[in-house]
Amino acid sequence: MVGSVAETATTSSFGSADLETYRRELTGYCYRMLGSAFEAEDAVQETMLRAWRGADGFEARSSLRSWLYRIATNVCLDALRGEKRRALPMDLGPSSPPVESLLRPWPAEDIWVTPIPDAMVVPERGDPAEIAALRDSVRLAFVTALQHLPARQRAALILCEVLKLSAAEAATALDSTVASVNSALQRARATLAALPDHQRPDAVDPENADLLAQYVDAFQRYDMTALLTVIREDAVMTMPPFELWIRGASDITTWMVQPAPSACAGSLLVPVRANGVLAWGQYKPDPERGGLAPWALLVHEVSGGKISRMTFFLDVERVFPLFGLADRIFDDR
């Protein structure tokens, strides 16, 4: 990662505290653009550095916020130039039957959308309606759907429909025209509307503590009958970096009791906040070393009163430290 902003600061018409005011919202913007918490963090740092280096050119003809978004947009467009888009397994092929022999990793590296802690993108305090909208805009399904859009269309949609900038402000950020921004918005909306239902973000329910408690209880007891009562019939389960994904509550619970997946029996779920929802770090029994070892970060979505999506991120060496999760637990349950 590049050096800190403070290390490169000389003189400017604003201070580091002014820039830090915008770090969370810029991180959210870069995350929606890039689909990776790690790349978003780097992009924001590069944005801050470019802002310091170009401070003499900031003449306050626009707000500092608008100027930073213009820089962040250029950073993200540079990062996306020539790169393959990030995705989740359901974006790359059809669903699979719950057959363990089909489990294999996707050959390419670093193609997956990654989760992000709420603390990096959602303010601790503020208007409850605004915070709810922010959480909705970093949902895993929504961020993944955005990756189907060309970079400039993606930026136009986020700037106008998520951040509520005017078309004129978005045009400035994109070094474009209002007509071009409106055209990009129209094309972006059409693309998202045409996505298959398993790739299109559904309307989600408000957080339901009772439902989530039932899910955690059923999963930790590894009770498939109980899980079937809280999972939608058309639910989707993915496990990056494996390309296999499973659709349907019956197939999901059948998968879970296959020989290798059944090793998750006896797991402990530790709550964290990720992508606008309550998520969990999953620790499963480690017979060789004892205790419970990190296995996955589970991010869910709820629609129609039941769990509709379950994404198990298995890259725990990178993901667990991001969420401050321990590298081992000795459970006395």
The string of pLDDT tens digits covering residues 49-65 is 998 887 666 665 568 88
Q: CA nearest 212: which of 310, 130, 142?
A: 310
Structure tokens of 41? 């963090």
Beta bridge partners of 292: 285, 329
The DSSP code sequence of 22-53 is THHHHHHHHHHHHS-HHHHHHHHHHHHHHHHH
User: How many CB atoms within 10 Å of residue 2?
Assistant: 11
Instruction: Specify the 3-state DSSP secondary structure of 92.
Output: coil
Type of residue numbered 38: F
Model pTM score: 0.91
- Nearest Cα neighbor of 220 from 329, 119, 65 is 329
Please tell me the predicted confidence (pLDDT) of residue 206.
86
49-56 long-range CB contacts below 8 Å, 24 or more apart? 49/2, 49/3, 49/5, 49/8, 50/74, 50/75, 51/19, 52/5, 52/8, 52/9, 52/10, 52/12, 52/19, 53/8, 55/11, 55/12, 55/13, 55/14, 56/11, 56/12
Q: In the prediction, which pLDDT does 106 show?
A: 80
240 vs 5, more confident? 240
For the ranges 9-23, 97-111, 165-179, which has the lowest average pLDDT? 9-23
Share of the chain above pLDDT 70, in %: 91
Cα–Cα distance for residue pair 31/143, rounded to 1 Å: 8
98 closest CA partner among 307, 256, 313, 262: 256
For 317, other C-beta atoms within 10 Å of its C-beta total 9
Work out whether the CA dihedral 56, 59, 60, 63 comes out positive or negative: negative
Nearest-angstrom CA–CA distance, 330 and 320: 17
Q: How confident is the model at residue 13 (pLDDT cuts 50, 70, 90)?
A: low
With CA atoms as reference, report the closest residue to 281 among 253, 236, 318. Answer: 318
The DSSP symbol for 285 reads E
Q: What is the pLDDT of residue 5?
A: 43
* DSSP SS3 for 300: strand
- Please, how many CA atoms are within 13 Å of residue 316, restricted to the half-sphere of its CB? 17
Compute the distance between CA of residue 15 and CA of residue 180 in angstroms, rounded to an integer.
34
Q: Find the range with the poorest average confidence among 122-131, 218-227, 280-289, 295-304.
A: 122-131
Type of residue numbered 199? Q
Query: Distance between CA 31 and CA 44 in Å, rounded?
Result: 10
Residue 304 tokens read as 């129609």
Q: Does residue 1 have a pLDDT over 80?
A: no
Which class for 283: exposed (0-12), middle (13-18), buried (19 or more C-beta within 10 A)? buried
As a residue count, the chain comes to 333
* Domains of the chain: residue spans and CATH: 1-83 (1.10.1740.10), 209-322 (3.10.450.50)
Q: Is the pLDDT of residue 8 over 50?
A: no
Type of residue numbered 131: I
Residue matched to tokens 């005017």: 166
pLDDT of residue 65: 84
